[in-house]
Structure 1
């Protein structure tokens, strides 16, 4: 009995010893294993954020990460950059373009016509009279091109027949070509009759068409701003818009280019906007224009382009009169085509 009881007690003691040894060995090893796992996890590369790809090195000694990442979405191609036709990033440019329906002969320029006050504050329209003329008109064209802006040119018919190649350059550069009578006669003069006034108008229209090789714009300005009532009515019947001005440069009596600039800017600062009257016939205007355009830009002024809805149909009898005029330069019959004078090299 005593021997059996001793054997049972020895068995229990042995079992407890074995359990203690397992616990003693297993617990530290489990903790150590956990520590090793944690250490291993902490040394793993972090998972790539969503919507980004992990960078894969091409170096031979680098280890490529092969963890699971969210693929980068396919991005649309960037929008093409609009092609600029202006090489001057700080150019005056053109703020807006208006199309004029000349039906009934509307008038513009508040000095004489009050009905159509379409310009907003700090908006201007650049206009030039009496051309085309060698030296001066090309210089005006260059100044406008350098500032990527535009104007309306009111050509004298005779001058158009003298220098058709220059007038064609005006048109080719994208400017509007209107008319300023045949010979710059004062249509409101005492000796002027209604018939002679009509001839001044129509011969001017036909001469400009003859020089351009195409119809001019239905835009007209009276010489000396002398608006003969019967001529105003006639232009209304012909659906030709009439232009006065808001600011006169008086460049024809300016002593130098600086005076032209100061006269225009003084008038604009007083009125705040307007149609500016200049002459591409005048040397001082050609010299002043680069500075004037920069002053307009600095002053916050913006150029508005005016374009007619249609063109002016000339009268056949006056077209024939111009073509047969013996006083016209003989080179007119062999005028160079516009493609030989102006060519588009980029657009």
Structure 2
């Protein structure tokens, strides 16, 4: 039986019913879908010391109750797929946590801002999604992958990201776990991996997740908004979560992550962001014939 440790998180006193949306700012908005999943509980994570979550790698902190699900998405933002995921979540008046690849944030800042503006939680997933456990990667390179990712996400947002991080390929080098702890960044593994990157049909994603939830009864679910099959699967997955009595938990961080100036400058130079127009494409390209 998994044990819940409340020492690293604060659970909000107000429980939100299915027809209500929990906004990041703590306000509630009306939901027009009477059959929406909504959010059953909003939790706040104190990331001091870098706590780890997700039973695949971290055994100490388990804050989910029976039938509770925390939705997470990796590797975005990405055209078509991320907006489709956002649409499905909005139709069910619910929220998720997105672990963002820094380069993708610089490619598509307008999509990342849609994620943020919709009230979802935004964490980071390195600069270029490299496996930080590779023998050929030096400690300095691994640290740069982490920090440039954090800087890129914050730069693209125009606001500080959450101090939430997920390792690519769920590879957790001990020295980097220690480093993130010193940076007061929480690390997230998973309880239920959808393996959606292997799926060819939406039904495979849905069946994998629902089977694992039936087995474990709850969990942090890992998906990828980078994957088109996941975007296709999500509307029906949310319907099935609702039909089977699962409840969505949304999380936010007590504090924001502080970027490091040297890495802020590094991502500006590497992505050439200061010289790139931030105007929306519709104002740059117009069909005339």
Q: TM-score range by the shorter chain?
A: 0.7 to 0.9
User: Alpha-carbon deviation of 1:119?
Assistant: 0.5
Choose 1 or 2 for highest CA Rg: 1
For 1:328 and 1:132, the matched residues in 2 are separated by: 17
Structure 2 length normalisation: TM-score?
0.85
2:268–2:274 Cα contact (<8 Å) kept? no
1:156 paired residue number:
101
1:93–1:148 Cα contact (<8 Å) kept? yes
Segments of structure 2 that go 5 or more residues without pairing to the other structure are: 1-19, 21-27, 284-289
1:316 paired residue number:
261
For 1:91 and 1:274, the matched residues in 2 are separated by: 19
User: Alpha-carbon deviation of 1:85?
Assistant: 1.4
2:106–2:271 Cα contact (<8 Å) kept? no
For 1:138 and 1:272, the matched residues in 2 are separated by: 29
CA gap of 1:231–1:291, structure 2 versus 1, over 3 A, is same
User: Alpha-carbon deviation of 1:329?
Assistant: 8.8
Pick from 251, 275, 279: which aligns with 2:196? Answer: 251
Q: How does 1:202-217 map to 2 (within 5 A)?
A: 202-217=147-162
1:167 paired residue number:
112
Which structure has more relative contact order (CA 8 Å, sep 6+)? It is 2
For the residue of structure 2 that corresponds to 1:325, the secondary structure is helix
2:270 paired residue number:
325
1:140 paired residue number:
85
Structure whose residues are more often strand by fraction = 2
Pick from 267, 278, 288: which aligns with 1:335? Answer: 278
User: Alpha-carbon deviation of 1:324?
Assistant: 2.1
What's the Cα RMSD here? Answer: 1.6
Segments of structure 1 that go 5 or more residues without pairing to the other structure are: 1-81, 341-347
CA gap of 1:191–1:175, structure 2 versus 1, over 3 A, is same
Q: How does 1:60-71 map to 2 (within 5 A)?
A: none
1:165–1:336 Cα contact (<8 Å) kept? no
For the residue of structure 2 that corresponds to 1:284, the secondary structure is helix
For 1:253 and 1:168, the matched residues in 2 are separated by: 28
1:77 paired residue number:
none
User: Alpha-carbon deviation of 1:325?
Assistant: 2.2
Structure 1 runs of 4+ aligned residues shifted over 6 Å read: none
How many residue pairs get matched? 255
For 1:121 and 1:278, the matched residues in 2 are separated by: 21
User: Alpha-carbon deviation of 1:336?
Assistant: 4.2
CA gap of 1:270–1:180, structure 2 versus 1, over 3 A, is same
For the residue of structure 2 that corresponds to 1:294, the secondary structure is helix
1:264 paired residue number:
209
Q: How does 1:91-240 map to 2 (within 5 A)?
A: 91-240=36-185
